Amino acid sequence: MRPMKYICILAAGTLCILTGCANASLPGQMDKIYLTGGQFTTTAQVVKDQFIAQVEIARESPQSCKLGFLSPDTLQGMEYIFTQGAVELRYQELCVSLPPDAVPAGSIAKLAVSALEQASIPGGVESSREGESILLSGFTKNGAFTIYLDAQDRTPRKLLVPRENLEIVFENFEYLQ
């Protein structure tokens, strides 16, 4: 009777250990992580080649994302509003509605919004860890991009699109409820 009791305890212990190991991540591996796709607002410093700008980006609904220039002075007030099937461009008294393909693929607005949208799709990016950051890496029509998230609160800190020499550093990124 005693040997059967020990065999059962040994079997149960082995089962617990094996099932725990099966769910463990290997070093460097992470669960699939992506942006929530929810509403947010942020300001950001944009550097593309020799061009530097300050922008505001806001997703006010799942179907709409707006990028507006705060500086330089020559672009202050210019806004791109991306919706399903259209892009509205506003600047001073000008307001033009365009099909999404009419916006140049290399424009700052299209690069930023395309990367953020791709990172919001479950399975749309690969995730990894680098120091205090979580990296979301993916592809759009403009090539590869990487979004750096804060490892603690998982808010975007930086977006890089190397092929386009674009770096966007997010400031005060906030998810809206």
CATH number, position 146: 2.50.20.10
Q: Is residue 88 part of a domain?
A: yes
140-162 residues labelled b (16+ CB within 10 A) or e (exposed): bebeebbbbbeeeeeebbbbbbe
State if pTM tops 0.95: no
Q: In which band, very low, low, confident or very high, does the pLDDT at 135 lie, cut at 50, 70 and 90?
A: very high
- By C-alpha distance, which of 106, 121, 108 is closest to 68? 108
149 domain residue, yes or no? yes
Query: Residue 134 falls within a domain, yes or no?
Result: yes
What range does the domain containing 162 cover?
Answer: 40-175
pLDDT of residue 37: 65
Higher-pLDDT residue of 62 and 23 is: 62
Question: What's the CA gap between 100 and 110, in Å, rounded?
Answer: 9
Q: How many domains does the chain have?
A: 1
Q: What is the pLDDT of residues 56-65, one digit of tens each?
A: 999 988 889 9
Q: Quote the tokens at residue 47.
A: 């550097």
Distance between CA atoms of residues 81 and 11, nearest Å:
61
92 falls within a domain: yes
